[in-house]
A and B are shown apart, each in its own frame.
Chain A
Amino acid sequence: MKTTENTVSDVLEDKKYKYGFKTLIESDTFAKGLNEDVVRAISKKKNEPQFMLDFRLKAYAKWLTMKPPQWPNVHYPPVDFQDLSYYSAPKPKKKLESLDEVDPELLRTFEKLGIPLDEQKKLSNVAVDAVFDSVSVATTHKKKLMEVGIIFCPISEAIQEYPELIEEYMGSVVPVGDNFYAALNSAVFTDGSFVYIPPDTISPMELSTYFRINTEETGQFERTLIICADNSYVSYLEGCTAPQFDTNQLHAAVVELVTMDNAEIKYSTVQNWYAGDMETGKGGIYNFVTKRGKCVGDNSKISWTQVETGSAITWKYPSCILMGDNSVGEFYSVALTNGYMQADTGTKMIHIGKNTRSSIISKGISADHSSNSYRGQVKVNKGAANARNYSQCDSMLVGDKCSAHTFPYIESANSSVQLEHEASTSKISEEQLFYFEQRGISRENAITAVINGFCKEVFKQLPMEFAVEAQKLLTLKLENSVG
């Protein structure tokens, strides 16, 4: 196993959350509180067209009538939405013409996170959009992508440059009033990424967004919209971290994916938000995210792969609406909880078109005092003849104070469908680790091997660099929880 070489020293080095630092940078932050004026102010700050302001106001009006969902299997004191700031941006000295003019402190921050943005060091095969608090600070490889007609830019820029695409597709997958947090996001989102892959185009590189929450009392509400036109393909990666604070920060993102005929989007996430203090559970990110893809075209495919390792509370169900005939939805997930983390995560597969297929592979690992729930819905509409779903939910328990739960919901209105569900629970034991040690294999490498074995069906879906990163992350998090 190639991964065993570099893990030991890394593991020893970063026992703690290594992304917990805060960048001291001058920022332009709104006063706390939310009302219609704040929504208008955000739109004005961004110089948005009327349709965008209308979208926001409609969402805000909806939001006022809604309540936070109570059904997830997570427990936390109510969030005071008036005690948050809804806009925070690093203060630019003047309008930026190129990356050279970005505050060096910001570039250093991203470099510290392993995301070099400047021209010399940038990752050669990955284009990155870096989002700092509410604002996209830099997008790399833009020109190269433009040559093949791919648009990859901050969503605030897309609203200016490509308003017709935004107006048509934003909210087409996740309507403004879809749920409490999606409505909130629709009202106050400040930035995020926009991708458009033109027909007959395979993206020549991986596209990636890196989210960083820096300010203590700012909510991060980013919005991602990816459109893949006929016969096109893109692989998209998302990574996230936040500094360590004693208070909780809210992250309520919306991600919408659209695929046309024969198009495919592969969306991968490695999420490592600060999860709160390991001993007390204090602080950490509330990750309340709505991610959904719509296979509009025939033979199209949307594949979600997520490795969730952080956040105090996770509430997230990347889903697929399979409208086009023969379209395919996939969900591969590893969700790790430790300390006092609570996760309620899973997926929804809605079968509408004929011969639609979906598969769900969910691996939950819970350690310490954490609670880990899988919640999944497979829904087959009347017209979805010959739809098929395969679901597999495996849980691994580490220690005896944690818990794992599975809530599968299956609904079918068509008799020609084929649905399968499998589930298992296992435990990583001291006896297993001793066996490795007796053969001269270190504890860290033993944990890595067992966890990789448990998660391999998911890891093999991740792009290479991400898979290595994800393996290291899991080992690191579990090291102190086993034995």
Chain B
Amino acid sequence: MLEVKDLRAGFEGSEIIKGISLSIKAGEVHAIMGPNGSGKSTLAKVLAGHPSYEVTGGEVIYNGENLLEIEPEQRALKGIFMGFQYPVEIPGVNNAEFLRMAYNARQINEGKEELDPLDFDDILTEKMKMLSMEKKYRERNLNDGFSGGEKKKNEILQMAILQPKLAVLDETDSGLDIDALRVVSDGVNKIKSADNALILITHYQRLLEYIQPDYVHVLSQGIIVKSGEKDLALELEAQGYDWLTPTN
């Protein structure tokens, strides 16, 4: 599904990712771990096509296409979803309407019928229930005044509604208390299938107790210093990241 080959990218002239390669197949869950500043979020933003990040080398092939040449909006329509670490607040835009806009954008792209607010409401109600989200969040403005935990839940709600092929969740666990973490993880597990893939970006092993990864990659100073199966996460938890820091 996704082939990342020797990817280099940065922000405002400084290179943050210095040659990353990854191969992800449908049905797989990959965890990307690493200390702050190792390039985890940069990788997520580059995959989503954030305009402030510049790709300086390498390539990314997504389902046979050169992903780096595709506009962010088209990437989303092709099934790439990013769960933001810091979801932006958008005052004045109703959450339920925003979700329907996103849903309908995908429907149009796939040549399917758009849903009116009533029909969409059925889907929304079901997904919100799955995430134990209170009804009031549908009428609130998008992320406006949401607590950190509610913002993250709202990201997963969007994921549940859009059913992406490849989801990149950037520190979705940060800011969640243990109950919320469980609810969110259960939600993600329900969305997960043999047809979609998941990249979990996280600082802590905690999330991986709830969402089992097939592979774990450790990122440090812009390169993958170690890859392994899920036991690697436990090792990291016990020993920290220091032993993996590349020697300069």
Residues of A within 8 A of B (CB): 1, 4, 426, 429-432, 434-435, 437-443, 445, 449-450, 452-454, 456, 483
Report chain B residues within 8 Å CB of A435: 84, 87-88, 90
User: Cβ of A440 and Cβ of B105 under 8 Å apart?
Assistant: yes
- Closest Cβ neighbor of B79 among chain A residues: A440
Contacts A1-B97, A439-B102, A440-B162 given; does A426 touch B91 at CB 8 Å: yes
Taken together as a complex, chains A and B put the C-alpha atoms of A439 and B6 apart, in Å, by 27
User: Cβ of A440 and Cβ of B92 under 8 Å apart?
Assistant: no
B166 on interface, CB distance cutoff 8 Å: no
One of A438, A445, A483 near B82 (C-beta < 8 A) = A438
Closest 7 CB pairs of A and B: A453-B92, A440-B76, A439-B102, A440-B105, A437-B72, A437-B73, A440-B77
B158 on interface, CB distance cutoff 8 Å: yes
Taken together as a complex, chains A and B put the C-alpha atoms of A431 and B82 apart, in Å, by 14
CB distance from B104 to the nearest CB of A (A): 8
User: Cβ of B92 and Cβ of A439 under 8 Å apart?
Assistant: no
User: Cβ of B73 and Cβ of A441 under 8 Å apart?
Assistant: yes
Contacts A1-B97, A439-B158 given; does A450 touch B90 at CB 8 Å: yes
Taken together as a complex, chains A and B put the C-alpha atoms of A437 and B48 apart, in Å, by 9
Contacts A437-B73, A438-B72, A439-B76 given; does A450 touch B88 at CB 8 Å: no
User: Cβ of A456 and Cβ of B90 under 8 Å apart?
Assistant: no
User: Cβ of B105 and Cβ of A429 under 8 Å apart?
Assistant: no
Taken together as a complex, chains A and B put the C-alpha atoms of A434 and B88 apart, in Å, by 10
B141 on interface, CB distance cutoff 8 Å: yes
Taken together as a complex, chains A and B put the C-alpha atoms of A445 and B105 apart, in Å, by 10
Report chain A residues within 8 Å CB of B82: 438
B226 on interface, CB distance cutoff 8 Å: no
Report B106-154 residues with CB < 8 Å from chain A CB.
106, 109, 141
User: Cβ of A452 and Cβ of B92 under 8 Å apart?
Assistant: yes
Report chain B residues within 8 Å CB of A443: 73
User: Cβ of B51 and Cβ of A483 under 8 Å apart?
Assistant: yes
User: Cβ of A434 and Cβ of B51 under 8 Å apart?
Assistant: yes
User: Cβ of B90 and Cβ of A432 under 8 Å apart?
Assistant: yes
One of A431, A432, A441 near B101 (C-beta < 8 A) = A441
One of A426, A431, A438, A449 near B76 (C-beta < 8 A) = A438
Taken together as a complex, chains A and B put the C-alpha atoms of A351 and B162 apart, in Å, by 53
CB distance from B213 to the nearest CB of A (A): 23
Report chain A residues within 8 Å CB of B71: 437
B62 on interface, CB distance cutoff 8 Å: no
Residues of B within 8 A of A (CB): 48-52, 71-73, 75-77, 81-82, 84, 87-88, 90-94, 97-98, 100-102, 104-106, 109, 141, 158, 162
Report chain B residues within 8 Å CB of A456: 92
Report chain B residues within 8 Å CB of A430: 51-52
- Closest Cβ neighbor of B87 among chain A residues: A435
- Closest Cβ neighbor of A429 among chain B residues: B88
- Closest Cβ neighbor of B143 among chain A residues: A435
- Closest Cβ neighbor of B107 among chain A residues: A440
Report chain B residues within 8 Å CB of A437: 49, 71-73, 76
User: Cβ of A1 and Cβ of B92 under 8 Å apart?
Assistant: no
Taken together as a complex, chains A and B put the C-alpha atoms of A473 and B82 apart, in Å, by 32
User: Cβ of B88 and Cβ of A454 under 8 Å apart?
Assistant: no
Report chain B residues within 8 Å CB of A452: 92
User: Cβ of B87 and Cβ of A434 under 8 Å apart?
Assistant: no
A-B contact pairs, 15 of them (CB 8 A): A1-B100, A4-B101, A434-B72, A437-B49, A438-B75, A438-B82, A439-B105, A440-B73, A440-B109, A445-B105, A449-B93, A449-B97, A449-B101, A453-B92, A483-B51
Contacts A1-B97, A432-B88, A435-B87 given; does A442 touch B105 at CB 8 Å: yes
Report chain A residues within 8 Å CB of B49: 437-438
Report chain B residues within 8 Å CB of A483: 51
CB distance from A244 to the nearest CB of B (A): 32
Contacts A435-B90, A440-B76, A441-B73 given; does A453 touch B141 at CB 8 Å: yes
User: Cβ of A441 and Cβ of B105 under 8 Å apart?
Assistant: yes
Taken together as a complex, chains A and B put the C-alpha atoms of A411 and B109 apart, in Å, by 56
One of B48, B94, B102 near A441 (C-beta < 8 A) = B102
CB distance from A230 to the nearest CB of B (A): 40
Taken together as a complex, chains A and B put the C-alpha atoms of A438 and B101 apart, in Å, by 12
User: Cβ of B101 and Cβ of A445 under 8 Å apart?
Assistant: yes
Report chain A residues within 8 Å CB of B109: 440
User: Cβ of B84 and Cβ of A453 under 8 Å apart?
Assistant: no
- Closest Cβ neighbor of B99 among chain A residues: A439
Taken together as a complex, chains A and B put the C-alpha atoms of A31 and B116 apart, in Å, by 59
Contacts A1-B97, A1-B101, A4-B101 given; does A438 touch B48 at CB 8 Å: yes
